[in-house]
Amino acid sequence: MSSSIDPLSCALEALMALRRRGLYPNEVLIAKELDESPYKVRQIMEDALKQGLVTKKNGYYEITDEGFKRVLKHRELYVHDFFVHGDNRWSKSITDWGRHWRRRHGLTRDVLNKFYRVLADLDGRVEELIPLTELKPGEKGIVVSAVGGFGAARRLAEMGLTPGVQIEVVRRAPLRGPIEIEVRGTRLVLGFGLASRIAVKKV
């Protein structure tokens, strides 16, 4: 099953998003966040309790360290599958993710560490991330991942497009043309294909 549709991980994401807003997640709130039935969410959360991914007190859920690790892995798989490859065929055979990111996608250890920090600090659910190509002129986003082919990842890092940096779209060409962005006071032009692989959290 693709990481992007793993119901348990999605429920844990929703729980964390609600807690960041200062709310106390129960089945009803999590169901609303996921646009799912409270009955189905109750079943999912019972499974999460059995696995030690959450605790429950006074009707509210809290994520455990193991649950947080599961969320981080879900986020990593989602970004990899949705933004880098467009499917989950690759992720099924990967055992060493650090090595995969470095060898297959050209990420340096420094960029990879930034990527994991941004995933851990992500405000909201990973499913809310969008490709850079969906930002309109004047809109801003925080880069979560910038991965193309092996050489592209290095070029993006050299241009300052690394996880955690804020970018603003200046202008876009019609149809699937290039996109001009501003990053750290510098304007860059990216091809549509490469820009579509950059995952951002809209500001």
Q: What is the pLDDT of residues 55-79, one digit of tens each?
A: 999 999 999 999 999 999 999 999 9
Check whether residue 54 and residue 141 sit in a common domain: no
Tokens at residue 196, please?
């579509």
Grade residue 6 by pLDDT with cuts at 50, 70 and 90: confident
| Residue 90 scores a pLDDT above 80 | no
Rounded-to-integer distance, Cα 18 and Cα 7, Å: 16
Domain match, 136 and 194 both: yes
CATH number of the CATH domain containing 172: 2.30.30.90
| 153/167: higher pLDDT | 167
| Res. 88 pLDDT band, cuts 50 70 90 | low
Are residue 103 and residue 161 in the same domain, yes or no?
yes
- Looking at residue 148, its pLDDT comes to 67
**What's the mean pLDDT in 127-132?**
93
Same domain? 29 vs 123 = no
The reply to whether 115 falls in a domain is yes
Question: Are residues 56 and 101 located together in one domain of the fold?
Answer: no
Does some domain include residue 89? no
Gyration radius (Cα) of the chain, Å: 18
Would 90 be classed as within a structural domain? Answer: no
Q: Is the predicted pLDDT of residue 114 greater than 80, yes or no?
A: yes
Same domain as 145, residue 57: no
Instruction: Give the domain CATH number at 52.
Output: 1.10.10.10
Q: Indicate the residue among 48, 66, 84 that finishes a domain.
A: 66
Residue 187 has pLDDT above 50, yes or no: yes
Average pLDDT over residues 116-123: 92
105 shares a domain with 202: yes
- Asked, for residue 25, whether it belongs to a domain, the answer is yes
Return mean pLDDT, the chain.
90
In this structure, are 50 and 112 located in the same domain? no
Query: Which residue carries 């969320």 as its tokens?
Result: 71
Kindly state the DSSP code that residue 148 receives in the 8-state scheme.
-
Residue 153: CB atoms within 10 Å = 25
Q: Is the pLDDT of residue 142 over 80?
A: yes
Number of domains in the chain: 2
pLDDT tops 50 at residue 202: yes
Q: Give the number of other Cβ atoms within 10 Å of residue 99's Cβ.
A: 10
CB 125 within 8 A of CB 202: no
Range(s) of the domain holding residue 61: 3-66
Candidates 126, 89, 104; CA nearest to 4 is: 126
Residue at 77 is within a domain = no
Query: Residue 63 in contact with residue 8, Cβ under 8 Å?
Result: no
Listed in sequence order, the DSSP H helices in the chain are 7-20, 27-34, 38-50, 65-78, 97-105, 109-121, 150-158, 192-195
Rounded average pLDDT over 71-100? 85
If asked whether residues 57 and 112 sit together in one domain, one would say no
pTM: 0.87
Residues 53 and 132 occupy one common structural domain: no
Which burial class, exposed, middle or buried, applies to 60 when counting CB atoms under 10 A from its CB (0-12, 13-18, 19+)?
A: middle
Residues 107 and 167 in one domain: yes
Q: What is the pLDDT of residue 149?
A: 65
